[in-house]
A and B are shown apart, each in its own frame.
Chain A
Amino acid sequence: MVVHRSGKGGIVAQERESDEQLLKRIAAGDQDALLALYDRYGRLVYSLAYQVLRDHQLAEEVTQDVFTRVWAAAHTFDPERSKFTTWLNTITRNRAIDILRQRRVRGLTGAGEAELNTAITRADERFLPEHHLRALAVREALAELPEAQRDVLELAYFGGLTQREIAEKLGIPLGTVKTRMRLGMMKLRDMLTSKPGKERDDGSDAARQSAGEGEHV
């Protein structure tokens, strides 16, 4: 948060720093900036990690790893290339899937996969305030997808399964999986690019204010 003070010491304006501004401070070694970013995205990272791993201890480990990586690699983020949340979610998902696949090899996978199909269509969950619109848009878009297409997307993204593994798991031809995945992603793309939440994601102050988000450090 950037706080401007009047000549008499009173606070006259407050602006929330963008993700990119925080990342610049992080790259300069500002620990408070990383903690501010954690306050903003810690729940998102933790929730995604838990969704993949279904284990709170592992989700904690992933969350800590992710923010340590952000600390180490903030200077490599290119805002021209992607949004910060895309970068962050990708790091988180990859870290969680790495662990999931290792556990799968060792026969340690939990009940995660069995719950995948119901996980993202549940309607009674709390939203992250700053991502309220985005979450609504994604859920609405997913709900509009045919179930067969939604299933393969979930198995790939949250289950870390390849197309071949999905085909084996579902007992359907590989070509069918490929088709469902391609069509599902194309539809999601079309729907999300036309949703209001799409344009008001992450760095947008307007989205946060409209979602009623409070102040952050």
Chain B
Amino acid sequence: MPRDNPQAKASTYDMNEADNPMSHAEAVMDQDHAFASEHLPAYALDALEGEEKARVARHVNVCSLCQKEYDVYQDVASSLAFAVPVYDPPSYLRTAIRTQIATSPAGASLERGESPRRRRARPVAMWLNGIVLIALVVVASWNVRLQQEVQNMHGNVERTFEVLNLFMHYQAEPDKVHMRKVVARRSDSNTWGLVMQEEDSGRLIIYMDGLPVLPAGRVYQLWLRQETWSRLNDVAFRCDGKGRALLEMPLPVSLYVISAVGLTAEPESAPANVECCTIVMELEGH
């Protein structure tokens, strides 16, 4: 096997072309092999970068010998994990993991293979900052109106301040509060909203605008779509006279597993037997 002795092959490559039966492609492959062999230990430690890393990666993908060698070095590198001081994770972590897996089927991809951390680290687009500012104004303005309109409704003012607080929290620590815009799937609908989740508490807040005002006796029922639609039985609501609504609820799963928010218009007295949502708002970027 030529790859058993890369140096011998390299000598062959130095010969005159007329004397050299090896093709150019083979020579390049051989040089790549020698390069990869030398750099595999560092590659296994994830210590290469740029073209060096890319060159080794390309070669490992096509060279079974280097693939095996890489597996061995990766095993060596991962062995370092056994040498670290041992710490006990907090007991509640097991419960948190149990809760999290209970809401997603095994074998399901994490949002097209993206990791939660990467999703959280996804750069916040400039437009989102603009929306945050606009939303701040909207919510602040709405807060003033709300205080005037619902002085007798316990909790609303406090809840609104919590939303404002969440916005400020988002601005101060964008990693701790996740926010996504939701827009109606139907192009002729003006309904849109913002969905926010505080990472530490899991608390979910949904602000919606442009909702059709329902006739008396009917309420909106909230649905969330993960793999399938789930009806949130405790979340029935009305929008205000301008089609706005603000909801708050605990959510035991990450916002990033939610792909859409749905609404059904149902009789206030008894839930309707519905199979599809009247309004579907997709989470942008999902």
Contact = CB atoms under 8 A, between A and B. Distances in A.
A192 B98 contact: no
Nearest to B49: A162
A157 B106 contact: no
Interface residues of B, number: 50
A156 B45 contact: yes
* Overall SS of chain A's interface: helix
B82 A135 contact: yes
A72 B117 contact: no
Give the interface size bracket for A toward B: 35 or more
A28 B45 contact: no
B146 interface: no
Interface string B81-124: 11111111110011011101110111111100001111001000
Interface string A80-96: 01110110011011110
B100 A68 contact: yes
Interface in B55-100: 71-90, 93-94, 96-98, 100
B117 A65 contact: yes
Contact of B108 (A67, A72, A92, A158): A72
B272 interface: no
A86 B115 contact: no
B101 A68 contact: yes
Contact of B86 (A69, A81, A126): A126
Nearest to A42: B89
Contact of A188 (B42, B79, B105, B118): B79
Interface in A40-93: 42-48, 50-51, 56, 59-65, 67-69, 71-75, 81-83, 85-86, 89-90, 92-93
B86 A43 contact: yes
Contacts of B47: 156, 161-163, 166, 181
A94 to B, nearest CB: 7
B38 interface: yes
B162 interface: no
A186 B41 contact: yes
Contact of B107 (A27, A59, A99): A27
Given A48-B81, A128-B86, A153-B45, A68 B116 contact: yes
B236 interface: no
B26 interface: no
A154 B71 CA distance: 19
B46 interface: yes
Contacts of A184: 41
Nearest to A26: B106
B41 A34 contact: no
B74 A158 contact: no
A27 B71 CA distance: 23
A46 B118 contact: no
Nearest to B96: A64
A42 B94 contact: yes
Query: Which of B79, B89, B104, B116 has the largest count of A CB atoms less than 10 A from its CB?
Result: B79
20 contacts: A29-B105, A42-B89, A46-B93, A65-B115, A72-B107, A74-B107, A75-B107, A86-B75, A89-B81, A95-B115, A98-B117, A126-B85, A126-B86, A131-B82, A138-B82, A139-B83, A156-B42, A160-B46, A182-B41, A185-B44
Interface of A: 26-31, 34-35, 38-39, 42-48, 50-51, 56, 59-65, 67-69, 71-75, 81-83, 85-86, 89-90, 92-95, 97-99, 102, 119-120, 122, 125-128, 131, 134-135, 138-139, 142, 153-154, 156-158, 160-164, 166, 178, 181-182, 184-186, 188-189, 192
Interface of B: 38-39, 41-42, 44-49, 71-90, 93-94, 96-98, 100-102, 104-110, 115-118, 121
